[in-house]
Structure 1
């Protein structure tokens, strides 16, 4: 596993965010990803695959913005569900 790289190493090598590497990690085959001592390692072949799918100029900022927006939307949805639940509970007691 000498040439295998951590998510952070891949992100730094490609000049993109670690979140973008995590996104790509979800699409890797089990043989291309190893978790050792709580840290993920990606095979050299898959690092090249990720490299071929990533266009740094356009993807990184766009992905990070979309991820931030998705997180904000998810938080808002959870808060709305909490209010609906509270209203339902109070109205049915």
Structure 2
């Protein structure tokens, strides 16, 4: 399983959404996007879900959001070491 790390914390709107969409378009079934963000990117999550991607977003103890997205329906996002 290949992790594609994308740290969007320093980016201004709409760059996280635009770059997130680009990452999703390039992903295959053996990879997943791990996006780190200061907010929960609801538009990106909704867009991904509408296109059949699995998504998981969790906020850590420091208030940082970790978003995992994959095309592969067999990957259990909650079991990945990044969560």
Scaled by the length of structure 1, what TM-score is found?
0.23
Larger Cα Rg: Structure 1 or Structure 2?
1
Q: TM-score, normalised by structure 2?
A: 0.25
Structure 1 or 2: more strand by fraction: 2
